[in-house]
Amino acid sequence: SGAALFTEARPASLEAIAAGISACTRCPIGCNGTRAVAGEGRSDAALMIVGEQPGDSEEQAGRPFIGPAGQVLRSHLDQAGIDPAQVWLTNAVKHFKFVMRAPSKRRLHQSPAAREIDTCRWWVESERLLVRPKLVLALGASAARSVLGKTVSVQKVRGAAMPLEGGAELWITTHPSYLLRLDDDARAAEEARFAADLRSVAARLA
């Protein structure tokens, strides 16, 4: 498993994690020459949100959740009464995995492989041990695997809390980029479910 690649002590601070992921070459994505995107927000947040990986915009800016999917997430957080500045926002995988699409040369997102998630999860666990959130919200299957160390069906486990070692609660919902890929009718229904999941999380935080 990925943890075997890490022989050093856990990072002592979120800053040390940011530096560590920038230098991390333990998986192929870490070796692709892109910039690592660290988590951001409140270092003692009650809620930690885990996405999949930085996208094109996030890699350029060096900040999580500022592109199209991030805008969907932020507007839903807002509607649920959750201030993103009070959250620890991070990703399962710290570098952007993509293929170049000819001839536009657009960088096309690729999903991380299970072993890439499993390698990077040592960093995500290290973040969780430092932030000590009451709740963790995993967005989509990659994030769920990152937190749990195994694959689960998002549709089966969404909408209910799962206990995590250390006392935190894990909630799993869909990834906001999934909402962006749906046509209008399906999107409205899925947005409503996403909003309901965020309201459940907000209620647990209150």
Residues binding ligand URA (CB under 6 A): 51-55, 58, 64-65, 67, 69-70, 91, 177
Nearer to ligand URA among residue 46 and residue 73 (C-beta): 73
Question: Within 10 Å of residue 205's Cβ, how many Cβ atoms?
Answer: 17
Select from 152, 145, 140 the least CA-distant residue to 176.
140
CB of 114 vs ligand URA, minimal distance in Å: 16
Residue indicated by tokens 């910039």: 35
Please, what is the minimum distance in Å from the beta carbon of residue 69 to ligand URA? 4
| Amino acid letter, 103 | P
Q: Give the residue with the Cβ less far from ligand URA, 68 or 159.
A: 68
| Lookup result for tokens 């620890």 | 88
Cβ pair 90, 127 in contact under 8 A: yes
Q: Least distance from C-beta 199 to ligand URA, angstroms? A: 21
Q: Closest Cα to residue 194, out of 94, 56, 49?
A: 49
Task: Between 126 and 177, name the residue whose CB sits nearer to ligand URA.
Answer: 177
Q: Taking CA 180 as the corner, what is the angle to CA 174 and CA 184, rounded to the nearest 5 degrees?
A: 110
CB of 179 to ligand URA, least distance (A): 12
Q: CB of residue 111 vs ligand URA: minimum separation in angstroms? A: 11
Which CB sits closer to ligand URA, 117 or 135? 117
Are the C-beta atoms of 162 and 150 separated by less than 8 Å?
no
Contacts of 121 (CB under 8 A, 6+ apart): 2, 3, 92, 145, 146, 147, 149
Cβ closest to ligand URA, residue 66 vs residue 168: 66
- Residue, CB closest to ligand URA: 51
